[in-house]
Amino acid sequence: MEIKAIINDNVLWQKTMEYAKNCSWKAGAFLAEKMKNNTFLGSENVFVTLVDKNIAGYCAFSLKDCVPDVEYTPYISFIFVGEEYRGNRLSEQMILYVIDYAKILNYNKIYIASDHINLYEKYGFEKIDEIEVKGIGIEKIYVKIIK
């Protein structure tokens, strides 16, 4: 397993964009659109997880997420692991990788917005808020203190 930060002139950028666009999760298409339009700002980044040179998942480091009008920043966003790779703790490895990235940028907290229950708590995140997001529903905001 290997996690790589990718940029828009990297061959993996196009492959990850296609993978996200065609994955089983509806937010994947939104990430693919952001990648196509290259709307990532400054330190924001996309990360791809490879298993035997195959894309197994992806995530991003984002300053904002789907929850509008909040001061929480930054986020680990778009966390997705392909069905055939689930159960191998790849999401945990991606989360740890992005936390290390946030440390380099001198952040002391990182957030995740999700509708999942009892998923991110096992990685040390604590639910701090719930917000109704138009067109999505209730999103929970989780935080982890970076040490």
pTM (predicted TM-score):
0.94
Query: How many beta carbons lie within 10 A of that of residue 68, not counting itself?
Result: 9
Domains belonging to the chain, first-starting first, are: 2-145 (3.40.630.30)
**The Cα angle at residue 112 between residues 132 and 21, in degrees rounded to 5:** 85
Q: To the nearest whole percent, how much of the chain has pLDDT over 90?
A: 86
Q: What pLDDT, in 10s, does the model give residues 37-94?
A: 999 999 999 999 999 999 999 999 999 998 888 999 999 999 999 999 999 999 999 9
The rounded distance, in Å, linking the Cα atoms of 136 and 36 is 22
